[in-house]
Amino acid sequence: MRYHSTRGKVRGLSFKDAVMMGLADDGGLLLPESIPTLTPGDVEALGQLAYPELAFQVFSRFVDDIPAANLKNLIERSYQSFTHPEVTPVVHQDGVYILELFHGPTLAFKDVALQFLGNLFEYLLKERGEKMNILGATSGDTGSAAIYGVRGKQNINIFILHPHGRVSPIQELQMTTVTDPNVFNLAVRGTFDDGQSIVKEAFGDLEFKSRYSLGAVNSINWARVLAQVVYYFYAYGRVRRETGCREIYFSVPTGNFGDIFAGYIAKRMGLPIRRLILATNENNILSRFVRDGDYSVGQVTETLSPSMDIQVASNFERYLFYLYQQNPDRVAQAMEDFRKQGRLEFADAERARVGEDFLALTVNKTQTVETIRDFHAATGYVLDPHTAVGVKAAKALAGGEAPVVCLATAHPAKFADAVRQAIGREPQRPASLEGIEDRPKRCEVIEAETQAVKDYLAQNAL
Ligand SMILES: Cc1ncc(COP(=O)(O)O)c(C=O)c1O
Ligand SMILES: N[C@@H](CCOP(=O)(O)O)C(=O)O
C-alpha cells in the first residue's frame, strides 16, 4: 500500500514513511492511494473477532511494510493498557447502542489510536536509529492521550499546545501532572484552532521540520485515523450478533472530523453504514455544511463539550479529496480559497453526495444538559457531554430501520461540571483520577505565535 497527499505533490510513500512524515510536505494530508474493499463475507468474519485480532486484520490491509509478527505485537501491547477486557465494549441503553471508547489510560477515545501510535513511533525510531520531537495541539483529550502514549519513552520528546483556560480542570491535570522529563505542556493564549494552525505552520517549515525531526500525533497522522477505523467494524459485529441487522447508523460527536472520517473510511471499505450522523455543539461549521452546504468559518464558542470547540476541522480536507472525485488540484485550490475567504461553496451534485453519507445536527448547551439528565433518569447511565451531543443527534435523526451506535468518546468524570449541572452530582471517578489534584504539575503559558512555539521547541528539543 502506498500513500499520497490530498494536494498531490507527495506520492508513493510507504506506511512507515507516511507515519513519520505526519503532515504531508506539500501541506496536505496523507491518504492511502486506494481503499481496500471487503466483501460482505469478510465484514461478517471480522465482526466475530476479538479486538486485537480485528485490529490486526484491518491494519494489515493498509500496512505492508511491518512484519506481521511485529505488527501483532505492537497491537497487543497497545490494548493491554485498557481496563476493559473487550477494549471498546458496546452496551445497549435506552434504545441506542453506546460504543464505550473511554477505557484507556486517559479515559477518552484518543487512547485507542495513541497507545498504538506511541508504541509504533518507538518501534520505528529504534529501527531507524532516529529521535523525534512530537509537536501536537489539543482541545483537551489528544494531549493527555499522546503524552501517556510516549511518556518516558527513549528518543522522543513531546510538546503539546492546549488552549489556556479552555479545557476542563481534569483534562488540564491529566496533561500537566505528567512531569516526565520528555513531556512539555504549553498553555497557549488562544483557541484550539490557533494551536492547530501553529502546528501546521511549524510542519510547513520543512527546514525546521527536518532539523528537529518533528512527529505528529494529531489526526494529521494517518495512523491515528487508521486505528480509529477498527472500532466501527467491532461495534457493527457486536450489534449484528445481537440484532441480526444488515445496516447500521453511527452517531459521532465531531470537532476535528477525524473520528467520523474513520467511519467514512470504514463505509468505503464496505461496512454497511446507512448514514454517519455528524453531531456538533454550537461550533457547527460541519453540521451547517452537511445540512445546508454552508461551510463558512465562525468564531470559536465555549461550550459544555470543550474538546469539540473547533471551527477549522483538519480532516475535512481528506473528505474533500473524495468529494472532489480525488482531484488533488481542486483540493489545493479549495484550501487556498478557504484560507483567504473563510468559506467554500458546493455544487448541488456535491451536496447530494454528502447527503448519501451523512446526516447532521447542532446540539446546544441546554440540549446537552437535558440529554445527560433524561438519559440518566431513564437508565442510570451517565453520559459525558460530548457523547450526549451524539446521543441527542442519534435520537433526532436515526430512522427505525437500522440500529444506531453512539460513539461514547470520553468518560463523564473528565467533565464533572457539565454532569453536575445535569444530574445534580458529579460522576464517579475512575481510580486513575484519584488524588490527581495533589500531584506535582509542570506547564508553561505561551503566546499564540508560531515563532514563540518554535523557539521553545528548539530550546528543549532532543
Ligand atoms: C471527547 C471528544 N469527543 C469528540 C471529539 C471530536 O472528535 P474529532 O475531533 O475526531 O471530530 C473530541 C476531539 O477530538 C473529543 O475529545
Ligand atoms: N478534540 C481533539 C482535537 C484534536 O483532534 P485530533 O483528533 O486531530 O488530535 C483533542 O482532544 O485534542
DSSP string, 74-124: HHHHHHTT-SSTTSS-EEEETTEEEEE---STTSBTHHHHHHHHHHHHHHH
pLDDT category of residue 388 using cuts at 50, 70 and 90? very high
Neighbours of 80 (CB within 10 A): 10
Per-residue confidence (pLDDT) for residue 346, from 0 to 100:
98
Using a 6 Å cutoff on CB, does residue 138 contact ligand 2?
yes
The whole-number pLDDT of residue 93 equals 97
Name the strand (E) or helix (H) holding 132: strand 132-137
| pLDDT of amino acid 417 | 97
Map grid coordinates 445496516 to a residue.
247
Which pLDDT does position 38 carry in this prediction? 98
410: which DSSP letter? B
Question: Letter for the amino acid at 240?
Answer: R
CB 462 within 8 A of CB 211: no
**Ligand 1 geometric centre to CA of 410 (Å):** 9
Write out the three cell numbers for 335: 484550501
Average pLDDT over residues 238-247: 98
Provide the percentage of residues in the chain whose pLDDT is more than 70. Answer: 100
Helix (H, G, I), strand (E, B) or coil at 181: coil
Average pLDDT score over residue span 228-248: 98
Tens-digit pLDDT profile for residues 166-219: 999 999 999 999 999 999 999 999 999 999 999 999 999 999 999 999 999 999
Question: Residues 282, 362: contact at Cβ < 8 Å?
Answer: yes
The Å distance, Cα 168 to ligand 2 centre, comes to 14
Residues whose beta carbon lies within 6 Å of some atom of ligand 1: 108, 139-141, 219, 253-260, 307-308, 386, 409-410
User: Mutation test of ligand 2: which of 109, 141, 407 has the most ligand atoms closer than 8 Å to its C-beta?
Assistant: 141
Nearest atom of ligand 2 to the alpha carbon of 140: 11
pLDDT of the residue at 439:
98
- Residue 253 backbone class (left: φ over 0; alpha: ψ -120 to 50; beta: rest): beta
Asked if residue 133 lies in contact with residue 157, where contact means CB atoms within 8 angstroms, the answer is: yes
Of the pLDDT bands very low, low, confident and very high (cuts 50, 70, 90), residue 376 is very high
* Whole-number Å distance between alpha carbons of 315 and 35: 17
Question: Which grid coordinates belong to 333?
Answer: 485550490
User: Is 157 a pocket residue for ligand 2 (Cβ < 6 Å)?
Assistant: no
**Spatial separation of the C-alpha atoms in residues 359 and 277, rounded to whole Å:** 5
Nearest atom (ligand 2) to Cα of 143: 12
196 lines ligand 2 (CB under 6 A): no
Indicate which ligand has the atom closest to the C-alpha of 145: 2
The helix/strand/coil state of 134 is strand
Q: Is 253 in the pocket of ligand 2 (CB under 6 A)?
A: no
Tens of pLDDT, residues 424-449: 999 999 999 999 999 999 999 999 99
For range 153-178, the mean pLDDT: 98
> What confidence score (pLDDT) does residue 433 get?
98
Closest ligand 1 atom, residue 253 Cα: 4
Considering the candidates 16, 110, 209, 395, report the single residue annotated as catalytic. Answer: 110
Please give the sequence-ordered ranges of beta strands (E in DSSP) within 224-328, or none if there are none.
248-253, 273-280, 295-296
CA of 376 to the centre of ligand 1 (A): 22
Atom of ligand 2 nearest to the CA of 141: 11
Reduced DSSP (H G I as helix, E B as strand, rest coil) percent helix, strand, coil of the chain, to 5: 50, 15, 35
**Is 174's C-beta closer than 6 angstroms to any atom of ligand 2?**
no
**What is the C-alpha separation between 204 and 213, in angstroms, rounded?**
13
128 C-alpha to ligand 1 centroid (Å): 32
Quote the ipTM score: 0.99
Query: Does 171 contact ligand 2 (Cβ within 6 A)?
Result: no
- Give dist(CA 122, CA 150) in Å, integer: 8
255 in contact with ligand 2, CB cutoff 6 A: yes
Q: What phi, psi does 268 have (nearest 5°)?
A: -65, -30
DSSP states of 8-28 as a string?
SSS--B-HHHHHHH-S-TTSS
The whole-angstrom separation of Cα 455 and Cα 442 is 18
Ligand 2 pocket, residue 139 CB under 6 Å: yes
Q: Distance (Å, rounded) from C-alpha 120 to C-alpha 16?
A: 9
258 lines ligand 2 (CB under 6 A): yes
End-to-end CA distance of the chain: 32
Can 441 be counted among the known catalytic residues?
A: no
Please identify, by atom number, the ligand 2 atom nearest to the C-alpha of residue 196: 4
Q: How far apart are CA 275 and CA 264, in angstroms?
A: 9
Domain 90-105+223-423 class? alpha beta
Can you give the residue ranges of every domain in the chain?
Answer: 90-105+223-423
Q: How far is CA 444 from CA 160, 188, 431, in A?
A: 11, 9, 27
Judged by DSSP in three states, 243 sits in helix
Residue burial 437-450, b: 16+ Cβ < 10 Å; e: rest: eeeeeebeebebeb
Helix (H/G/I), strand (E/B), else coil: 314: coil
What is the pLDDT averaged over residues 38-63?
98
